[in-house]
Each structure stands twice: as C-alpha cells, then as structure tokens.
Amino acid sequence: MNSTPTLIPPSVQQLCPLVGRLLIAALFIPAGYNKIAGFEGVSGYMAAKGLPMADVLLVLTIVIELGGGIMILLGWRAAEAALTIALFLIPVTVVFHGFWAFDDPQLAAAEQRVFMKNIAIIGGLLVIAGLGSGPLSVGRKPAGEPGAGKPVS
C-alpha cells in the first residue's frame, strides 16, 4: 500500500488507471480500425514514405494498434501491450513526423506538434507498462484472495 499522502481519495485513485486506459485506447482502437477501412490508401502512403513491404507493415500496424488498444482497454496484459505500442511509436514518429525535414515553417511546426504529441503518448504508455493496468481490469485477482490486485498468471 502506498503510504505517500495524497489529495486524491482512494476511490478516485482506483478509477484513474481505468480512465487513463480508456483514453489511450480511444486513440489506438479507431486508428487501427481506420487503417483496415482505408487499407489501400494507407499502404500507398507508407510506400510513398519509402517503407518496404508496406502491406505487411500495415497488417502489423493494425495488429499493434487495434489489438494492443483492445488489450489496454480491457486491462488484459496491458503492460505488455503498452510497451509494444510505445516501442512501435518510436520509429513511426521519426519516419512520419520528421519535422526537421520540412522547409515550410508552418508544415514543420505542425509536424513538430504531432511529433511531441507522440512523445507524450509514449510517456503515458510507459506509465502503463511500468505500473500495470490498475485494479479495475480483466485478469486481476479479486479482493480477498491471496495476491489480490495482481495479474492472474
């Protein structure tokens, strides 16, 4: 139990990881789904960025975004899903939002905002990866059982 004093009541503390997971999932689940709906266009965009085997990479992207987003939403193996998405976002951010490569200051500024947004999202994902999904998640042992609140092995 955390003995650090806080202004946040325990009931709210239990809800915070759930709300955080919902907000992160709200980004990745629709992104993965939209890539399915617009597969040809997204694959063409990836190929235009110089990525080899764009169709294969796009399928992997969909699995990571949609599958990982659902895992985070449910809190099932959320730490692993969050770490996977965070690692995935590193090259995605560099390849697709390299603001330093733009001559137009407005375009560079727009891409820099998206780049920094992705850095912040990576930070949030690393919090989930490091601290887990929280008490309100699928696969948690119920209160009163040995190891309560810990993932079921």
Average pLDDT over residues 39-43: 98
The reported pLDDT for the residue numbered 6 is: 82
User: What is residue 147's predicted lDDT score, i.e. its pLDDT?
Assistant: 53
Cα(132)–Cα(17) distance, integer angstroms: 9
In this structure, is residue 140 part of a structural domain?
no
Within a domain: 101: yes
What are the tens digits of pLDDT across the range 93-149? 999 999 999 999 999 999 999 999 999 999 999 999 999 999 999 977 555 555 555
Residue 114: CB atoms within 10 Å: 13
Looking at the 3D structure of the chain, how many domains does it have? Answer: 1
Interatomic CA distance for residues 43 and 56, integer angstroms: 9
> Per the domain annotation, does 148 fall within a domain?
no
Question: Hunting for tokens 């193996």 — which residue is that?
Answer: 77
In a domain, 120, yes or no: yes
Q: Of 131, 135, 113, which is closest to residue 123 (Cα–Cα)? A: 131
What percent of the chain has a predicted confidence (pLDDT) above 90?
82
- Please compute the mean of the pLDDT values over residues 51-65 and round it to a whole number: 98
Task: Judge whether 145 lies within some domain.
Answer: no
Lowest-pLDDT choice from 25-29, 71-75, 94-98, 147-151: 147-151
pLDDT digits (tens, 9 = 90+) for 122-133: 999 999 999 999
Say yes or no to pLDDT of 69 above 90.
Answer: yes
User: Does the pLDDT value for residue 81 go beyond 50?
Assistant: yes
How long is the chain?
153
Residue 144 inside a domain? The answer is: no
Residue 153's pLDDT is 43
Domain that holds residue 75: 14-131
Tell me the average pLDDT across 8-30.
94
Q: What is the pTM of this model?
A: 0.87
pLDDT score at 73 = 97
User: Do the domain assignments include residue 2?
Assistant: no
Position 4 in a domain: no
- Picking from 36, 61, 57, the residue whose alpha carbon sits closest to that of residue 48 is 57
